[in-house]
Amino acid sequence: MPQSQLRIVIVGHVDHGKSTLIGRLLNDTGSLPDGKVEQVQEMSRKRGMPFEWAFVMDALQAERDQGITIDTTQIHFKTAQRPYVIIDAPGHTEFLKNMVTGASQADAALLVIDAGEGALEQSRRHAYLLHLLGVRQVAVVINKMDRVDFAKSRYETVAHEIKEYLAELGLFPKAVIPVSARNGDNIVVRNEDQGRWYLGPTVIEQLDAFRPQQTSPDQPLRFPIQDVYKPDDRRILAGRVESGRLRVGDTLRFAPTGASARIVSIEAWNHPETVLSAQAGQSIGVTLDKRIFAERGHVAHHEDAAPVLTHRLGVRLFWLVSEPMQVGRTYTLKIATGEHRVTVEQVTAVINVEDLTSTPGKAVHRNEVAEVTLRSRSPIAVDLAAELPRTGRGVLLDGNDVVGGCLVVEAEDAATNITEVSHTVSGEERASANGHKGGILWLTGLSGAGKSTLAMALERALFDRGWQTFVLDGDNVRNGLNAGLGFSPDDRAENIRRVAETAKLFADAGMVVIASLISPLRDDRARARVIGGDRFHEVYVSADLATCEERDPKGLYKKARAGEIAEFTGVSAPYEAPEQPELVIDTSTLGRSEALAHLLDYVDETLGKASLKSGRELTYVI
């Protein structure tokens, strides 16, 4: 019975014969379409060139003209044992970036080395990349043995050299195969004349001996969220199970928020039967028993086996572009479905791929390998690559360009050396002493809607009653707590996170915190709700844009219309109105006194003495 498909990456120095090897593999396994060989023969004749097996798989005219492969190409063929996909990763230095893309998908690799030239620097780089990308099944193909008369001594010299280097990387080749790709020796058919001293497998025999990478369902569960779908009244969290397994009824916890919920159903596309479980390798969706904040990049796991949550991690990376990586530069780190802004804190060591020695440095240049410390403002859920490669391996982006591939080798747990201290005063005692609960009233709305006016009036009214209360106003916190933040999307999100964390501390202390911020994006407010928990109350201070612009208390709309303020909410940047706020106050129809009265009524009901007795939490919309 045929086995499952195997993905092979073929790497090696330019001109060491990878394309010729692939052409021979396709021909000698009967995988070429009819007429393909004749087509290549005619093309070679017209060009006045000898027949080249490499032209069999060179699909682009530009590739044939340059004589080098310039893209990552997938080629399908099969043997009696199984189907294969060859990921042809380019060997030319200019196209190493494509190799990272190709090799990262591979189950196994063939490293092609010219018998005459041996393992040159680029061959060593490719070997290091295979190590970096976690490809553990490797065979070495020593090509062009016909040019050294299939000399056993030359084979042994090159084999010893490359095996010794691979061993230092922790890679042990399954075989080192002497071949002549041009003549077809030891590809499918053995060379029984010159190469009779070689008793190991042919290339095809070794390929058939490889095994597809298996991610054990017994490993810890990692289910990164790729997207959230709302096809009807359901909310489906979709993604691929990267490791472990999950079942209907399991309680999932989501990193980095810590939110948890139970699986109600598992949705599988084009699967008419009810699905009760899923395991590593399956792409599925799940529905949960309650609505929680979960988005693309969050990682679902079981309570007893969580990923590391870290702001600081050590990676081993391969740098791909001409502009060097430097300490202090900021990039996007993409691991699984998550993307995180990270800053280079330290270049611990730059590794010489020739002899694997390392030296400290402040920059990493093109094609160099280095160990680097990255720091993120927001927590990242990761695993060590040696333990769970799927969530421990990533790429660095500069804008939309891939600039490096990396493995996580060290992750400093955000909670390391931090022990939460229990308060001797309980929340109930604080509420009883204050005569009210602690809470967060999050006032959101357009500039000019009246948030700050309402917030300050509410603070005054509550203080006059003897309540413990304080306003966190958007402009005020930017003069102190968040003075170092700008107005980029990342900085805006961090501004809201810090205010939410500060408001939570106030609320834990028993105070009523009134946070007045535009906070235009639903996702940012959802994160604030996760931080605030049950104490969080979203108040939508509603007023249409025309009303807000007519008021324009700070003259900001006028500046925005004149082009003096970029990305101004409501004019050149969006405002996403709350979908299910606890309270809506329309200040375009209500006067200040009426609006304040409604807000006070809501606060009395939810945080006042009546709520202390009943324990009720109300949704109150006017």
Query: Which residues lie below 8 Å from residue 27, measured CB to CB, with a gap of 6+?
Result: 37, 53, 56
Judge whether 519 counts as a catalytic residue.
Answer: yes
| Structural tokens at position 115 | 């018998």
Q: Which of 519, 593, 611, 614 is catalytic?
A: 519
From CA 256, how far away is CA 382, in angstroms rounded?
10
Residue 223 Ramachandran class (φ > 0 left, ψ -120 to 50 alpha, else beta): beta
Would you give the distance in Å from CA 342 to the centre of its chain? 12
Query: How many Cα atoms within 13 Å fall on the side-chain side of residue 341?
Result: 12
Cβ of 402: how many Cβ atoms within 10 Å?
Answer: 16
Within the chain, what is the greatest distance between any pair of CA atoms? Answer: 102
Percent of the chain that is helix, strand, coil (3-state, to 5): 30, 30, 40
Query: Which residues lie below 8 Å from residue 257, measured CB to CB, with a gap of 6+?
Result: 292, 293, 294, 298, 527, 530
Asked if residue 89 lies in contact with residue 129, where contact means CB atoms within 8 angstroms, the answer is no
Q: Where are the beta strands (DSSP E) in 241-368?
A: 245-247, 251-255, 260-267, 277-279, 283-288, 299-301, 308-319, 325-326, 330-335, 338-351, 358-359, 363-364
| Structural tokens at position 475 | 């402009």
Between β-strands 251-255 and 260-267, what pairing exists: parallel, antiparallel or unpaired? Answer: antiparallel
DSSP, collapsed to helix, strand or coil, labels residue 243 as strand
Q: Residue 185 has what DSSP assignment?
A: B
Between β-strands 369-382 and 338-351, what pairing exists: parallel, antiparallel or unpaired? Answer: antiparallel
User: Phi then psi for 295, rounded to 5 degrees?
Assistant: -140, 175
For every residue of 396-458, DSSP letters joined together read: EEETTEEEEEEEEEEEEETTTT--PPPPSS-HHHHHHHHTS--EEEEEE--TTSSHHHHHHHH
From CA 379, how far away is CA 375, in angstroms rounded?
9
From CA 43, how far away is CA 59, in angstroms rounded?
13
From CA 319, how far away is CA 370, in angstroms rounded?
8
Residue located via tokens 């209907």: 248
From CA 584, how far away is CA 449, in angstroms rounded?
12
From CA 481, how far away is CA 490, in angstroms rounded?
16
Would you give the distance in Å from CA 124 to the centre of its chain? 28
User: Phi then psi for 24, rounded to 5 degrees?
Assistant: -65, -40
From CA 145, how far away is CA 179, in angstroms rounded?
6
Strand partners, 372: 315, 347
Query: What is each CA distance from 194 to 113, 117, 181, 186, 440, in whole angstroms?
Result: 19, 20, 15, 11, 82
**CA dihedral of residues 50, 54, 55, 60 (deg, nearest 10):** -140
- Residue numbers annotated as active site: 519
